[in-house]
Amino acid sequence: MSNTTLSTSIGMLPILIAPNQILKTRARPVKPTDSDLVRDLIPRMFATMYDAPGIGLAAPQISHSLRLVVIDLMPKDKKQPYSLINPEIVASSEELAAREEGCLSLPGQYAEITRPARVKVRYLDETGAKREIEADGLLSACLQHEIDHLDGVLFVDHLSTLKRNMIMRRLAKEQRAKQDERSR
C-alpha cells in the first residue's frame, strides 16, 4: 500500500511538495456554499499537520485552493488549535523580528525569515463567527507564514534569489533521492 493510500485511509491528506503550481496560486475565499467541505477538511488538516509533524497547514498545501488555515503551536505540549477561515492581516507592527522557518511543503529546508514582529488577524472561525487575534513571537510568524500560503507565497520567496535557488535545488535533489529509494 502506498503512503498516499495509507494516509488517505485514516483521514490524513497528502501534502504537496514545492515546486507545485497550486502552492504558487492565490487561493479563493471560502464561500458559504463551501461549508460542508470546510467542515470535512478542518479535522483532516489538523490530523495531517499533527502527523507531519507541523504547527500550521494551509489548504493549498493539501491541494485545496481555499483560504483556510489550521494552526496549533502546542504550548506546553497541550493542544490549542486555531482554524482560520478567510484570514487577513489587518495590522502589523513596524518592528521586525527574524526567526528560522521551515515548511511542510519544503521538507527539511530552513532559513531565517524577517517579518513584522506583531500582527492582528481577522478571520471566521468554524462556526462562521468573526474573530480577531493579536499575536507576537512564534504565533505571529506562523500566522504570516500560513496566510502567505493563501497568497501563493512560500517562505523562500522572502529570501534573495541566490538563497531561494540553493534551497529549491537542495529540495529537488533530496526529493529525487527519496523517489529513487522508493523505486528500488
Q: What is the pLDDT of residues 6-34, one digit of tens each?
A: 344 457 899 999 999 999 999 999 999 99
Average pLDDT estimate for 80-98: 97
* Whole-angstrom Cα Rg for the chain: 16
Counted domains in the chain? 1
Helix %, strand %, coil % for the chain, to 5? 40, 30, 30
Query: Percent of the chain beyond pLDDT 70?
Result: 95
Q: Does the annotation count 146 as an active-site position? A: yes
- What is the CB neighbour count within 10 angstroms for residue 15? 20
pLDDT band at 4 (very low <50, low <70, confident <90, very high): very low
Parent domain of 12:
3-182
CATH number, residue 55: 3.90.45.10
The pLDDT value recorded for residue 16 is: 97
Q: Do residues 100 and 110 lie in contact, with contact meaning Cβ atoms separated by under 8 Å?
A: yes
Among residues 100, 101, 146, 181, which one is catalytic? 146
Q: What is the pLDDT of residues 115-165, one digit of tens each?
A: 999 999 999 999 999 999 999 999 999 999 999 999 999 999 999 999 999
